[in-house]
Amino acid sequence: NKNCTVIAAGAFIGEHSCTSKVSYLRPDKIDMDLVKEFSNRAIQNLSRSSSVSVSGNRPYRERKPSSPVGPTTNENCTQCKRCAKMCPVNAIQLSNCKIVDESQCIHCYRCVRECPEEAKYFDERMGKLVTWLEEKCGAIRMEPDFFL
């Protein structure tokens, strides 16, 4: 839409940020071999004059209103500030890591994974979603989609 020609697009697979039980250890060797093939084919499209067609909906999906959810901090927190520095949306206050702007949190779990004291966690509100993901998607091997 911005006067650009899209020569290639892909929907790649990676381990889910909320749980390692969905797409565990992905991308793997098979995925990376497919990425290499995709890259080689994309290079061949450099001279394209029209964009590739990418399937799907725009917007991807309608977001329903929901209550904001952010990580909780337990007494193990030493205020090392690692969680705040690693948060990609700056939802965690640097001056006090126990304060989280839940309306900004994207539930990437980076703060949980990065905390050296295991002080950050999501409560049962996110736990229900994680359980659903594991039950519905845990045993399925999804494959990447390429648009060339």
Question: Amino acid identity, residue 141?
Answer: R
117-135: pLDDT as tens digits: 999 999 888 888 899 999 9
Instruction: Compute the distance between CA of residue 28 and CA of residue 18 in angstroms, rounded to an integer.
Output: 18
1-37: pLDDT as tens digits: 577 888 999 999 999 988 989 999 999 999 999 999 9
- Mark out the alpha helices in the chain (DSSP H runs): 29-44, 82-86, 110-114, 124-137
Looking at residue 56, its pLDDT comes to: 83
Looking at residue 88, its pLDDT comes to: 96
28-71: pLDDT as tens digits: 999 999 999 999 999 998 888 888 988 887 777 776 777 788 99
Helix (H) or strand (E) holding 11: strand 9-11
